[in-house]
């Protein structure tokens, strides 16, 4: 995969096809799932990164729900490019190779969860494996989102990639130990205290 290849994929997008598909997608998202998205008016012109939170079920509905809201706000001409699909379609045989392909395509850093194996962080210069914390797993719904929150907070605080990924893994472990995405209540101090006493796998 190359940056040029990525740009070609976006250029091949057919707004007329999107316009034909949109009424059916809207019927499902708004009629059946009763979706509601707010804040689309805050999306800036040009490129923007939006992170959505999904249900963790068999089929995550965050992408089609966002697609409908995005098209309602900006029309079908403005493309919505979903990054998760890039990882799926890199053609890589393993996660590390897929992450490297995304870095080669222009991403500065790719951080990916690996379930019980922890997380993988790939940049142009390094590949970092961070182990998961040893917890009794009850439900993994929301663990990826929790990891992202911890990782992004760590980077915002100036932590290293490895330390940020460890914070992400610890945050995910808080969620994995309870049922559902809102299991328990914790803050940064609680997560750091957990990290200090909990072994990794």
Closest CA to 200 of 126, 132, 118: 132
Is 145 a catalytic site residue? Answer: yes
Tokens 């740009």 locate to 7
Residue 163 burial (10 A CB sphere; 0-12, 13-18, 19+) = middle
The one catalytic residue in 45, 94, 136, 145 is 145
The pair of structure tokens assigned to 174 is 């808080």
CB 136, CB 170: distance < 8 Å: no
Full strand arrangement of the beta sheet holding 127-130: 109-113, 119-123, 127-130
Q: Which residues are catalytic?
A: 145
């Amino acid at each position: 995969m190359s940056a040029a290849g990525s740009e070609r994929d976006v250029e091949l997008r057919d707004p007329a096809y999107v316009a034909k598909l949109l009424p059916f997608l809207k019927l499902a998202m708004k009629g059946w799932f009763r979706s509601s998205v707010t804040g689309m008016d805050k999306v800036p012109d040009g490129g923007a990164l939006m992170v959505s939170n999904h249900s963790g079920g068999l089929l995550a509905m965050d992408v089609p729900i966002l697609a409908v809201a995005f098209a309602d706000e900006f029309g079908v001409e403005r493309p919505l490019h979903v990054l998760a699909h890039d990882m799926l379609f890199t053609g890589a045989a393993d996660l590390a190779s897929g992450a490297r392909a995304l870095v080669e395509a222009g991403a500065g850093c790719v951080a990916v969860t690996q379930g019980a194996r922890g997380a993988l962080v790939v940049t142009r210069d390094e590949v970092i494996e961070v182990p998961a914390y040893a917890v009794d797993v009850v439900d993994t719904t929301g663990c990826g989102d929790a990891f992202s929150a911890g990782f992004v907070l760590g980077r915002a605080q100036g932590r290293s990639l490895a330390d940020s990924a460890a914070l992400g893994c610890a945050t995910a472990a808080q969620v994995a130990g309870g049922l559902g995405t809102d299991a328990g209540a914790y803050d940064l101090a609680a997560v750091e205290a957990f990290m200090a006493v909990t072994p990794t796998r």
